[in-house]
């Protein structure tokens, strides 16, 4: 990790998760697919399983990061200066706070993750940036996020929030009703806020089925969704143009840009879909 500007506040998190390195963990497997070093052998095996089904897995992960950065830049340029990034992952290239602060140096970010290794990496670094914190809390328990002392300290819920659930929803089966958690979170954000989501696409391409198979084999979770199912997670909020699309075709800052046809994309470019919605 090269970024030394992120740190937890040192306050006790309200949620205390398991820490098990005998099984692959989402954060570390994802880090391994991105070519990071914050992972164990069991995670690298998980990443290798994914590569068996999705040869372009690394590029697909990078594609998700591209969806993350484009969305953050767009939301920051709309004047939002506080971000709640749920399912933060391990620090990697251009993280949310860097993308946001490149637009507005005063932007504040609270990263939330339920894997304590993410917090450990943050806390292992020296605080240089008072405007970025990492909190351990769980998407499945919205009050663990909304009532977390670091979230309370950093995010003013009377002002617009950039709520991010990027690269995370695919890990929950529809029966878990992830929409209920999202509803609780977006309800806590005032009008003028944005909801930024990326998820695994299901538009009938074989690589998408491969992605689901690979996740289920490597992690035991990771499901693909039709664009309609992904859109339902925006809770009826209007999507900003160009709506939901593959990151290669998704330019919220240039919605009229000419983009390649879906059938001309490489298979790894059809794994992820990204969208940003606005709370009026
Ligand atoms: C695939 S990574 C995505 C990282 C980053 N958002 C991105 O898109 O590049 C998913 C992250 O979500 C975290 N996560 C998994 N389940 C979670 C939960 N229930 N609550 C909060 N974070 C969770 C994992 O630990 C992991 O760091």
pLDDT 10s digits, 49-104:
999 999 999 999 999 999 999 999 999 999 999 999 999 999 888 999 999 999 99
Q: Lowest-confidence range among 17-21, 223-227, 258-262?
A: 17-21
Q: Are 28 and 10 in contact (CB under 8 A)?
A: no
In the reported structure, the alpha carbon of residue 256 is separated from the centroid of ligand 1 by a whole-number distance in angstroms of 31
Residue nearest ligand 1's atom 17 by CA: 114
In the reported structure, the alpha carbon of residue 146 is separated from the centroid of ligand 1 by a whole-number distance in angstroms of 17
The domains found in the chain, sorted by start residue, are 26-278 (3.40.50.150)
**pTM of the entire predicted model:** 0.93
Sheet containing strand 194-200, strands side by side: 132-136, 108-113, 82-86, 162-166, 194-200, 272-278
Residue nearest ligand 1's atom 8 by CA: 167
Assigned token pair, 176? 């878990």
In the reported structure, the alpha carbon of residue 169 is separated from the centroid of ligand 1 by a whole-number distance in angstroms of 9
Average the pLDDT over 258-278 and give the result: 98
Q: Which residues pair with 275 in a beta bridge?
A: 197
Residues flanking ligand 1, CB < 6 Å: 26-27, 30, 64-65, 68, 86-89, 112-115, 118, 138-140, 166-168, 171
Dihedral-angle region of residue 249 (phi above 0 means left; psi in -120 to 50 means alpha; beta otherwise):
alpha
In the reported structure, the alpha carbon of residue 90 is separated from the centroid of ligand 1 by a whole-number distance in angstroms of 9
In the reported structure, the alpha carbon of residue 257 is separated from the centroid of ligand 1 by a whole-number distance in angstroms of 30
Give the distance between the most distant pair of CA atoms in the chain.
49
Per residue, the 3-state secondary structure of 118-164, as one string, reads HHHHHHCCCCCCCCEEEEECCCCCHHHHHCCHHHHHHCCCCCCCEEE
pLDDT 10s digits, 28-47:
999 999 999 989 999 999 99
């Amino acid at each position: 990790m090269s970024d030394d500007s992120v740190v937890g506040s040192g306050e006790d998190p309200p949620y205390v998760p398991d820490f098990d390195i005998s099984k692959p963990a989402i954060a570390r497997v994802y880090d391994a697919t991105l070519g990071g070093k914050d992972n164990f052998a069991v995670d690298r095996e998980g990443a290798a399983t994914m590569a068996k089904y999705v040869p372009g897995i690394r590029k697909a992960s990078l594609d998700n990061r591209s969806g993350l950065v484009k969305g953050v830049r767009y939301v920051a340029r709309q004047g939002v200066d506080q971000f709640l990034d749920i399912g933060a992952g391990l620090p990697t290239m251009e993280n949310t706070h860097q993308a946001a602060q490149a637009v507005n140096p005063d932007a504040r970010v609270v990263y939330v993750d339920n894997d304590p290794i993410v917090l450990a990496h943050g806390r292992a670094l020296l605080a240089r940036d008072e405007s970025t914190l990492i909190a351990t809390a769980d998407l499945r328990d919205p009050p663990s996020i909304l009532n977390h002392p670091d979230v309370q300290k950093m995010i003013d819920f009377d002002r617009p929030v950039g709520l991010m659930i990027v690269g995370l929803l695919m890990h929950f089966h529809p029966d878990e009703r992830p929409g209920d958690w999202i509803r609780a979170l977006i309800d806590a954000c005032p009008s003028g806020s944005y909801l930024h989501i990326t998820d695994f696409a299901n538009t009938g391409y074989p690589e998408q089925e491969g992605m689901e198979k690979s996740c289920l084999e490597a992690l035991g979770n990771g499901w693909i969704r039709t664009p309609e199912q992904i859109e339902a997670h925006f809770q009826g909020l209007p999507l900003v143009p160009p709506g939901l699309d593959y990151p290669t075709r998704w330019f919220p800052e240039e919605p009229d840009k000419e983009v390649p046809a879906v059938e001309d994309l490489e298979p790894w470019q059809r794994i992820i879909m990204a969208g940003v919605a606005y709370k009026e």
